[in-house]
Amino acid sequence: MQSLELLKARIEGARTLRSIVRTMKILAAVGVRQDEKAKASLAEYLRTIELGLHVALRSREDGAMRKAGRDEESGPSVLALVIGSDMGMCGQFNERIAAFAFGRLGSLAPGHVTVIATGERVALRLEELGLPPDSILACPANPATGVAIAIRQVLVRIDAWRGESRGGRVLVFYNRHAGRGVEVECRMRQLLPVDEVYLREVRERPWKSRSLPQFRMDGRDLLHAYLRGLVHASLYGTFLDSLESENAARLEAMEAAERNIDEHLAELRACFNEARQEAITSELLDIIAGVEAAATQSTTGRLGQK
């Protein structure tokens, strides 16, 4: 049986750890809410981009529309962006997305795949799987800071890669909050070339007024400007999805940790109560034994006097 002092120290340590876990749980829940608000704002921005795309696509011929956003030469090369996390305490967040990306890219020829990882931890997991990243970027911590910087760095690398490979696909691998509690799922999005089916759907959407807005700049330049805005918004949305799923995974991990700490605290309190009861019983027995010994000595003394 452990001493009462040791049990008290362990209980106090568990209480301190529980307060830390509870704080992390609250921060994760707040982070999920912030990411949801940022995604709602981004949806309005994306709607504006799609309205402009509709006008730009309607002003061009159908054949030109099919070429919009596509590379002149679509080669076998692939640029893969794998979004992870360096914050920790989010379960198997990095392991799952690394395994998912390897499952999609592992069959491709090594010379045709260029991997960019956001975060040292997911880069390490990819390297362990045999898919070492060519470059590593810092992970954004929240929607307000870091996301814009990460997007600029990604776009610079995409431009450089497209100049070297002369075509190919740009794929993004990320975790996404499934919308059911704290469940997270792995997803893959093709960033470039822009999906032709999506462009056709945007072009065929009904326009609320009887005439389209007019513009003075070159139609091709306008279309490319909106496509760049679309790529930027898609990247931003992908990072927001990853951040939301990371906070959801951390919330799940903290809830599990809180349950385990509560169970451990209950066991420690039970051990403490048992040890305390044994200590009290031992003290009472010592007192009773002392009283009995004193009574025996007193009786023996009186008999001796007689």
What band does 93 get if pLDDT is binned at 50, 70 and 90? confident
What band does 187 get if pLDDT is binned at 50, 70 and 90? very high
CA triplet 201, 202, 203: central angle to 5 degrees?
90
Is residue 290's pLDDT more than 80? no
More confident residue, 302 or 245: 245
More confident residue, 6 or 305: 6
d(CA 239, CA 38): 11
Quickly tell me which residue has 């056709």 as its tokens. Answer: 200
Q: Which residues contact 99 (CB under 8 A, 6 or more apart)?
A: 125, 129
pLDDT tens readout for residues 219-276 = 888 898 999 999 999 999 999 999 888 888 888 888 888 899 999 899 888 888 888 8
What is the percent of the chain where pLDDT is above 90?
Answer: 29
Q: What is the 3-state secondary structure (H, E, C) of the chain?
A: CCCHHHHHHHHHHHHHHHHHHHHHHHHHHHHHHHHHHHHHHHHHHHHHHHHHHHHHHHCCCHHHHHHCCCCCCCCCCEEEEEECCCCCCCCCHHHHHHHHHHHHHCCCCHHHEEEEEECHHHHHHHHHCCCCCCEEECCCCECCEEHHHHHHHHHHHHHHHHHHHCCCEEEEEEEEECCCCCCEEEEEEEEECCCHHHHHHHHCCCCCCCCCCCCCCCHHHHHHHHHHHHHHHHHHHHHHHHHHHHHHHHHHHHHHHHHHHHHHHHHHHHHHHHHHHHHHHHHHHHHHHHHHHHHHHHHHHHHHHC
Is residue 16's pLDDT more than 80? yes
pLDDT tens readout for residues 150-169 = 899 999 999 888 888 667 89
- Which domains, and CATH codes, for the chain? 25-255 (3.40.1380.10)
Q: What is the mean pLDDT of residues 11-20?
A: 89
Question: In the sheet that 113-118 helps form, which strands lie side by side, from edge to edge?
Answer: 135-137, 113-118, 78-83, 169-177, 184-192
What band does 306 get if pLDDT is binned at 50, 70 and 90? low
d(CA 258, CA 21): 6
pLDDT confidence of residue 109: 67
What band does 73 get if pLDDT is binned at 50, 70 and 90? very low
What band does 71 get if pLDDT is binned at 50, 70 and 90? very low
CA distances from 221 to 53, 89, 98, 117 (A): 12, 46, 38, 32
pLDDT confidence of residue 281: 83
